Structure 1
């Protein structure tokens, strides 16, 4: 794979201003339907879950995007809570469908043991455009903090705020794709006026643990479940995955809260970010969805066992 050293918007070495961001947004095209793919699937789950509309994004001229979460119908205040998030980066398709499939096929498995809150598509505008950013060229997954510049992040933070301190586990579902290297990382470098440094894309599933609250046994329980579904990414020649040291098979660490990552929003003891590789010749879309489901099931199961 090769990647261009320059991006077609902006001046190399100069951060984007509003004209460059407008030029970038004008290049984005709607490629699929949030209403048809996601909202319709959520509607089908209304018989089993309470459906909460926790916000609405207004992005003219592209329209308005209601934000939905699924909540355990038999919610109990004496139980701990689990958060499952998908589509924080809208282009990461298996995160969205993995969250929906988990809710549909396994949501009832935990009745009476833990309250489930599932936000399957945090960034619907980006879902439709198969992109990482929102329309303001902001990455929601670097924006989970007070006074967030990303409406997607702010809405989710508001949803979970009353439950902080009650979450036992949070599994945030993501993908690492070839377009990270060919489009999104070059765009990020151009936006910030920095040089693009090609790296590489790991072939396989991996996890990101919280460097400030590492839970290695929890991560390895998820890896053990997922490797029955799809392959685990090996370390590269430097012993790294996407530039971070591999601390255990298929596991790296980021500092969730300082980086403004979604997986850091709950204060839960057990947190992780999954990363599926959908462009692998060794994996199908169905396997990627199944890997996300396996990760959620294993993560919640481990958390309950060790609570």
Structure 2
């Protein structure tokens, strides 16, 4: 190991291809990122200004939109520049910083989705106590706890990954500093790190997804006991957006971090990474706005006001 030259920077290999493909990817990432910012900032704005949306569900949705902006912003701007300029270099500290914040926001989103499932459980299964149970203090605490677990995981993953030795040429077979890809670029034995990655990320996915499943188990049972068809439809409509978001996020997260092949399939991982780092943060506001009558009504109210003011 001492005969190797330690790296001070890494090279993000990204996607192989000619200049036209790289410029096309830069344009695609730019369009997706712009849509992500507009959609999530729009969601934050409409929830903030519309009094009808000042409820726990929309408090969590507002925080999810903020999280999606941060989550995507850690990766996408750097990827856009890499594809556009061909400069694949990222500093050692820059790579560690990117990994830290990406792990922080990604893990926090896992817990956020579990918290939002619990919120729907309380709203449908205990509607009379909903405002008491989901008080402002409780909602703030649940958001803080989500970030706390995100912080624990990002410290663990980043600390362990950068405790490894990295030698020249320092090539990372990914378009950003993701844990499995950076780990594979190490010239140290990574067995312990791989086990920790699988155990910790697997545990996070299992725990949060179990909370979601249990919550929706009770929700489905409660909905089935509602006598009217209209009542069942209305109750279920409040959950469909969240179910779609959960399915997309946990499906890709499990593929990347929750199964043993995560380290050994970097090429497949690149394609999936595009989906969960860029596409999902862009889709979340679309899912929640297009499938939510209250959000659509709020948008209509404020658009009408703007038109009449002009």
Give the alignment's TM-score, normalised by structure 2. Answer: 0.31
Structure of greater Rg: 2
Give the alignment's TM-score, normalised by structure 1. Answer: 0.31
Larger fraction in strand: 1
Q: Which has the higher contact order (CA 8 A, sep 6+)?
A: 2
